[in-house]
Structure 1
Amino acid sequence: MKSKKKLAVVLGAGIAPLLAVGLSSGTAQGHGYISSPPSRQAQCAAGVVPCGPIKYEPQSVEGRKGLRSCSGGNAAFAELDNDAKGWRVTPVSRTTSFQWRLTARHATSTWQYYIGGTKIAEFNDGGARPGEIVTHQVNFGGFSGKQKVLAIWNIADTANAFYACVDVNIS
């Protein structure tokens, strides 16, 4: 009887690490964020600005569609909404490339870009599943100077979207 218990303990100890790695990989997969110019969550992940849990999962700023916040309404990432946190501002030209790094492929309806309450660009993917890197050329129109750009990746087959804010100085 004792040998069966020992065997069960040994097997359990050997399998537990495999289960922990296998089960956690599903949640660590994430989704997507803007890597260039560096979004607020990219700055957190790179250690440019001291941040809480978002530094470990910059791709996870997900919330229901229609929000207009950098955190996507996620309380755990509320510091992304703090404009006074010391975000680095990237100098950009009137037309700039925004590069999304995707860690999960979702069917996409639209990508939207806002300054304040004004939509400055929208790209319609019509349900396509983009690759790992997605780049958009965004024209800022009449905006200049220091601006916060809110970028939204609307998923086609769920009620959710992914959110990213990028601080820029438009020349």
Structure 2
Amino acid sequence: MRKKMGAALVGLAVAGTTVLATGSASSHGYTDSPISRQKLCANRTVTGCGSIQWEPQSVEGPKGFPARGPADGTICAGGNGRFSQLDDPRGGAWPATRVGAGQNYTFRWQFTARHRTTDFRYFITRDGWNPAQPLTRAALESQPFLTVPYGGQQPPATLSHSGTLPGKSGRHLILAVWTVHDTGNAFYACSDVQF
């Protein structure tokens, strides 16, 4: 009986280790240019963030945005209730990165664990959106303003790519989506910007 129990425990440990090694736990990242809400929390620039301050790289949710993915109102947290502070618009008072309409901008991702990647997509809010409300699909332009295909490759620890910002004015929110190639998930990062 002891041998059977011991073998069962070893089997469970091996299975658990395999799941951790191959599942979404092996992939994590966030944007720091423009600075994302989770990075503002990790830097302690913004307080009252809960556990995201220790895990800015962990905003992971279902991929397929905008057709699938996190529910409206939970997009900035990737649908993850543990990080719901990221969905709180704070009355539109999140610190914002200054950018220019039509500017060629360099977006930068930091990866604490790299994973094969399908693409990176960047969405921006529509003119007239309400920054005091949680982010919804209706608040975003229907198509990304920038898509960077990555062909299933594994990114380096830091990845930068450039794209032209849309012709906007005033306060907006950029949603960056990193689509993982070989899992059902993506990583989400919301960055407040001021044109």
Same-fold status (TM-score > 0.5): yes
Change (3 A) 1:30 1:106: closer
Match of 1:109 among 88, 100, 118: 118
Letter in 1 for 2:44: G
How far is the alpha carbon of 1:105 from its aligned partner? 1.2
How far is the alpha carbon of 1:92 from its aligned partner? 1.4
Please give the alpha-carbon distance, in whole angstroms, between the structure 2 residues aligned to 1:53 and 1:121: 30
How far is the alpha carbon of 1:142 from its aligned partner? 2.3
| 8 Å contact from structure 1 (residues 111, 154) kept in 2 | yes
Counterpart position of 1:31: 28
Q: Is the deviation greater in 120-129 or in 91-100?
A: 91-100
CA RMSD of aligned residues (A): 1.9
Counterpart position of 1:11: none
Within 5 Å, which residues of 2 pair with 1:48-59? 48-50=45-47, 51-59=49-57
Within 5 Å, which residues of 2 pair with 1:4-153? 31-50=28-47, 51-65=49-63, 66=65, 67=69, 69-84=75-90, 86-93=93-100, 94-116=103-125, 117-118=140-141, 119-153=144-178
Please give the alpha-carbon distance, in whole angstroms, between the structure 1 residues aligned to 2:95 and 2:121: 22
5+ residue gaps in structure 1? 1-25
Please give the alpha-carbon distance, in whole angstroms, between the structure 2 residues aligned to 1:92 and 1:151: 16
Counterpart position of 2:180: 155
| 8 Å contact from structure 2 (residues 29, 58) kept in 1 | yes
How far is the alpha carbon of 1:127 from its aligned partner? 0.3
Q: Is the deviation greater in 43-52 or in 115-124?
A: 115-124
Q: Of the two, which has the highest radius of gyration? A: 1
Following TM superposition, the consecutive aligned residue runs of length 4 or more in structure 1 with deviations greater than 4 angstroms are 26-30
Higher percent of residues as strand = 1
TM-score (structure 2 length as normaliser) = 0.69
TM-score (structure 1 length as normaliser) = 0.79
Please give the alpha-carbon distance, in whole angstroms, between the structure 1 residues aligned to 2:152 and 2:167: 31
Q: Is the deviation greater in 68-77 or in 148-157?
A: 68-77
Please give the alpha-carbon distance, in whole angstroms, between the structure 1 residues aligned to 2:38 and 2:109: 12
5+ residue gaps in structure 2? 1-20, 126-139
